[in-house]
Amino acid sequence: MSGLKYSKDHEYLRIEGEVAVVGITDYAQAQLGDIVFVDLPTIGKKVTKGGELAVIESVKAASEVYAPVAGEVVEVNAELGEKPALVNEAPLSGGWLVKLRLENPAEIETLMDEAAYDGFLKTL
């Protein structure tokens, strides 16, 4: 899992070349319960850090997913339309949500690394 960065809103970010793969953490998917629908943004949408990126609906509730960094949506995980449970099954791999072209790569440094995120979870 190293190389991932995390937000306090339980999103993760993984850099792949010039884009960042964004999804929700294992902790977040466990809190949501069985995910039944994922509302993803359109390709080309520009998001600001902390702005709404997507909505995930579970059997418990609907929850917003916030952008951990600013950028432009360059790809969405279309597979989630047919299989939203992928977010539960593999949140850090097949259950990713979007890929963003970073607007300001320096924002990555404002996110937590894995050790800091694990410490943050212990405070909840």
CA distance 49 to 20: 13
Please name the amino acid found at residue 40. Answer: L
Q: At 14, is the pLDDT very low, low, confident or very high (cuts 50, 70, 90)?
A: very high
Rounded mean pLDDT of 53-64?
96
Q: Please state, as a whole number, how many other Cβ atoms lie within 10 Å of the Cβ of residue 91.
A: 23
Please give the model's pTM, rounded to 2 decimal places. 0.95
Tell me the pLDDT tens digit for each residue of 26-50. Answer: 999 999 999 999 999 999 999 999 9
pLDDT in the model for residue 41: 98
The structure tokens 């099954």 sit at 89
Q: Would you state the structure tokens that stand for residue 29, as one six-digit string?
A: 């998917």
The enclosing H or E element of 32 equals helix 26-32
Q: At 1, is the pLDDT very low, low, confident or very high (cuts 50, 70, 90)?
A: very low
List all residues 6 or more positions away from 32 whose beta carbon is below 8 Å from its beta carbon: 24, 56, 58, 60, 61, 63, 88
pLDDT in the model for residue 44: 98
Share of the chain above pLDDT 70, in %: 98
Tell me the pLDDT tens digit for each residue of 92-105. Answer: 999 999 999 999 99
CA distance 87 to 72: 22
Classify domain 5-121 by CATH number. 2.40.50.100
